[in-house]
Amino acid sequence: MNQYEVITLNEFILESQSQFPQAEGDLSHLLHHVGTAAKIVNREVNKAGLVDILGEIGTCNVQGEDQKKLDIFANDHFINSLHSCGEVCAIASEENESFILFDDDMARNGKYVFLMDPLDGSSNIDVNVSIGTIFSIYKRKTKQGEKATMEDFLQPGTEQVAAGYILYGSSTMLVYTTGQGINGFTLDPSIGEFCLSHKKIKSPEDGIIYSINEGNYLKFPAGVKQYIKYCQEKDVDTQRPYSSRYIGSLVSDVHRNLLKGGIFMYPITESAPKGKLRLLYECNPIAFIIEQAGGKATDGHKRTMEIKPSSLHQRTPFYCGSTNMVNKVEEFIRVFG
Ligand code: AHM
Ligand code: MG
């Protein structure tokens, strides 16, 4: 690659596919459609302040949270785009109580199920702060041609064939993995293409950033409180005190920590005894990305991707980021609970 060569997302996807002669191109086709949907959502996110698309639409999603107009827009666009690509037989979304079954002939033959949080960090929309989309792709368990069932969705994260996120930030980025490391693409608005900008991202083993909603401090388990204290203590060798950074948008917090080194934590609290974040379409895809970058993602005790899911909107506590930092908080949880 010379210094002037630009590799677009689509070129990269095709090039990666060509390294696997047995690949049929269906996953590539699907990823291409994810990129297209991301561009359309990005366009709306960018003009959200200009048109009357901000604010709540007055309905609630399945978690009882207010839905924003952009959430719905993103949800609809991803669903439509993935339906039309024909590779996906069903979709599960944070915004829909049960999964959406595509029951036409073409989609029934789709090999994959797609899970997503179409617009994560939605409390940030109205205030022009970064938000994201998270997605996770599995091969279906049921046979092609049959109707997809819940069994297709309730697979452990270790079975993911691809996962990624789109970050709508100061620039828009798409980061994804198919299990061969992770790569990041930045949207060049002048040509309307995602271009390879972050090749083979590696998570630093250590970091000096911790990200957690400290407003919940009093409700945290003792081990997490102790770990926060550890982060704040002075120690020259480990460069403590660490910096506290929390955007309140999982994608943005994880992306920053992935590039700079750090830990993101969303523990159980008294009011959320199972944690807040959803296993299937928030934690598993992020865990796949983080692990592919050499980092670690757990529920405080065990590997996130090995949790056997029992329901679509299942929640889990989540600790992810630089391996040594995640090991450290696990140590505190083991000792103090
Ligand atoms: P959302 O999917 O409803 O936007 O909620 C998920 C978000 C994550 O992006 C973020 O890490 C977390 O919720 C923030 O929660 P809190 O405001 O409790 O800190
Ligand atoms: Mg979310």
Domain locations in the chain? 9-198, 209-336
Assign a CATH topology to domain 209-336.
Answer: D-Maltodextrin-Binding Protein; domain 2 (3.40.190)
Compute, in angstroms, the gap from residue 94 CA to the centroid of ligand 1. Answer: 12
Alpha carbon separation from 140 to 14, 23, 39 (Å, rounded)? 23, 17, 27
Q: Give 270's pLDDT tier (boundaries 50, 70, 90).
A: confident
Same fold, 9-198 and 209-336: no
Indicate if the pLDDT at residue 67 is higher than 60: no
| Coil, strand or helix at 298 | strand
CATH code, residues 9-198: 3.30.540.10
How many Cβ atoms sit within 10 Å of the Cβ of residue 219?
Answer: 15
Q: Give the residue, by CA position, lying nearest to ligand 1 atom 5.
A: 121
| Helices then strands, each counted (H, E), the chain | 9, 15
pTM value? 0.95
Indicate if the pLDDT at residue 65 is higher than 90: no
Indicate if the pLDDT at residue 21 is higher than 70: no
How many Cβ atoms sit within 10 Å of the Cβ of residue 308?
Answer: 9
Indicate the top mutation candidate among 119, 213, 265 to test ligand 1's pocket, ranked by most ligand atoms within 8 A of CB: 213
Compute, in angstroms, the gap from residue 286 CA to the centroid of ligand 1. Answer: 14
Residues with CB under 6 A from ligand 1: 65, 94, 117, 120-122, 213, 248-250, 276
**pLDDT tens figures, 294-333:** 999 999 999 999 999 999 999 999 999 999 999 999 999 9
Q: What is the pLDDT of residue 122?
A: 84
- Quote the tokens at residue 105: 């002939």
Indicate the top mutation candidate among 244, 265, 277, 316 to test ligand 1's pocket, ranked by most ligand atoms within 8 A of CB: 277
**Mean pLDDT across the chain, nearest whole number?**
93
- 159 in a known ligand binding site: no
Strand 88-93's sheet: what is its strand order?
A: 100-101, 88-93, 112-120, 131-139, 162-168, 172-177, 182-188, 193-198
Compute, in angstroms, the gap from residue 251 CA to the centroid of ligand 1. Answer: 10
Q: Give the residue, by CA position, lying nearest to ligand 1 atom 18.
A: 213
Q: What is the pLDDT of residue 98?
A: 97
How many Cβ atoms sit within 10 Å of the Cβ of residue 335?
Answer: 10
| Residues found in the chain | 337
